[in-house]
Chains A and B, each alone.
Chain A
Amino acid sequence: MVFTVDEATNKSPLIQAKNVTKSYGDLPVLHDFSLDVDRGEVVVLIGPSGSGKTTFIRTLNGLETIDSGRISINGTVLADSKPLDKGKPHKPNHRSLQKVRLDVGMVFQQFNLFPHLTAAENVMEAPVWVRKIPQKDARKRALELLDRMGLADRADHYPHELSGGQQQRVAISRSLAMDPVAILFDEVTSALDPELVGEVLRAMRQLAADGMTMIVVTHEMQFARQVADRVVMMASGRLVEAGTPEQIFASPTDPRTAKFLQSVVHPQ
């Protein structure tokens, strides 16, 4: 195990989103959306483009605010409101926001590595500056994490000297370095050349096997089938259905799910 999962007796779900609603102007994006995620669970979010997957997972570490609903993560309430008093977005307070961001890691489609720092420095940045861990210890840990991601020999390379797959694995290491209790993945293989997708999925599979709590937005159905504990289908900002991969892939109950799966498996 390269990260520590707090095996606390905490029985309530690690991540709780209840009746989350959000619009951009007049455009409703999340509609009364609820999802609980337990410790160690891997949830794969699927759904057509524009269904609100990105928006939803971004609300979970405060990159987006919500209009109403409740979000609580690892005991920290990030947002909690009644249906809104006329349009004022619900802003989380600074402390909970900070706590949640330390608890929840995020990996982005476009990697978003810091281009002026080497791979190892990218990974060390937050431990050194946020957690105030001595450089030497932080570097040692960063090298361990990079090694686990198969990047031992790339530690001192700058992002522009790495392939997309390598950059994405550095990004995963960077988020692991803060020992998050959960990691959010937003289509992290979509910007990659096809031959580089496998290495990133392999790293994520390993993470799941180690017991990391993960919410994964992806169009990689093979990955969902093999790794997900639960697959959640979204459409138009609503939860359409949720279930084990077998249930969802073999016998979807909602026609929208069937249609979506059809489109992913047989794109024209």
Chain B
Amino acid sequence: MGEIASWLPSLLTGLGVTVELTVFSMVFGLVVGLVLATIRLEPRNRWLYIPATIYIEVIRGTPLILQLFFAYFALPAAGIRLDPFIAGVLALGINYSAYLSEVFRSSIKAVPHGQWEAASSIGMPWVLVMWRIILPQAGRIALPATGNYFIALFKDSALASTISVTELLFSGQILAAASFNYFGIYAVVAVFYLAVSYPSSLGLRALERRLELSRRKARPKRVAA
């Protein structure tokens, strides 16, 4: 028991780094993902559409761990030397932006076309239509998948241990190497991950249910066409 208590300070610090890594990468992924999704709504705009598509295919077609290695070990050869944490955020953020952009793109497309037409017909320019009318609706559609990616990212952030970011898993490895109590330490590390991911997925499901409820309520009152 006392042994576990002695691990806690460094594991808690590690968990803090894991959470930071997750949040920063997620914000990066959301912003870049949204930009990519917007670009890919309009295939006729080839000079943006093609590079965006290549970006997405390259990222989705290569392992995340390779992208991490690239950011941390390969970029210095090009004269770009990144702090491990920054390299981790960059690689994780870029990786998730590619997946999230596909979620956003399909969610935006799932908003009925009539919404675009109605908003345009009252004089709203494209940016306003997107921001005020389409994205709030697309956001609701995108929420479940985005939430799942968020939790997946939280766990994937453990890969940053391979580029020496002292997040939760790496903190555990350091302790394990010193005490040889692999079973005990990795069990506690697992509990730490679960302590964040399980409540998150419960919260997410509750949120989804609430949105579904408001949609279900709409049905009986809908007028038959």
Contacts and interface: CB of A to CB of B under 8 A. Distances in A.
B44 interface: no
B128 interface: yes
Given A160-B214, A160-B217, A192 B223 contact: yes
B48 to A, nearest CB: 19
A247 interface: no
A116 B121 contact: no
A130 B124 contact: yes
Interface stretch (B4-12, B28-36, B110-118, B159-167): B110-118
A113 interface: yes
B114 A108 contact: yes
Nearest to A94: B125
A178 interface: yes
Chain A interface mostly: loop
B114 A112 contact: yes
Contacts of B214: 160
A102 interface: yes
B114 A178 contact: no
A163 B123 contact: no
B123 A178 contact: yes
A12 interface: no
A35 interface: no
B211 to A, nearest CB: 11
A161 interface: yes
A4 interface: no
Interface in B200-217: 214-215, 217
B173 interface: no
Contacts of A163: 221, 223
Contacts, number: 84
Interface in A89-123: 98, 101-102, 104-106, 108, 110, 112-116
B221 A175 contact: no
A106 B132 CA distance: 19
A129 B129 CA distance: 10
Interface in A17-69: 61-63
Nearest to A102: B123
B118 A114 contact: yes
A63 B132 contact: no
A113 B224 contact: no
A191 B124 contact: no
A155 interface: no
A55 to B, nearest CB: 13
A112 B224 contact: no
Interface in B121-138: 121-125, 128, 132-133, 136-137
B119 interface: yes
B225 interface: yes
Contact of A130 (B128, B133, B217): B128
B123 A126 contact: yes
A105 B140 CA distance: 28
B218 interface: yes
Contacts of B128: 129-130
B181 interface: no
A250 B123 CA distance: 40
A161 B217 CA distance: 8
6 contacts: A63-B120, A101-B123, A125-B122, A129-B128, A164-B222, A175-B122
Nearest 9 Cβ contacts at the A-B interface: A160-B218, A164-B223, A112-B118, A112-B114, A126-B122, A106-B121, A102-B123, A101-B123, A191-B225
